[in-house]
Amino acid sequence: MINKQILDDIAEQIGRKLPQLNALGQDVSNNVKALVQQNLSKLDLVTREEFDAQQRALQRAEEKIAELEALLGELESQLKP
């Protein structure tokens, strides 16, 4: 396995010798980020807040279903002789 410090040293040396690589690297990074954002915006995604709200609504619905099932069970037991 290659030592992380060795890789850091190599990267630093390359950065010192070719400063234009830093600008190019930043440009590539910005382009990739823009491309990813553009493609993600095309997907049918929801925000975390929307997801959490739906999760809370589902939990309340499940609790209500459980209450209604218990009530139905009680009513059915009262109808049996």
Which pLDDT belongs to residue 1?
43
- Which of 5-9, 17-21, 31-35 is predicted least confidently? 17-21
- Tokens 């830093």 correspond to 22
CB 50 within 8 A of CB 43: no
Which pLDDT belongs to residue 3?
63
For residues 74 and 13, the model is more confident at 74
* pLDDT tens track for 23-73: 666 776 777 777 877 887 788 888 889 999 999 999 999 999 999 999 999
Q: Where are the domains of the chain?
A: 1-45, 46-81
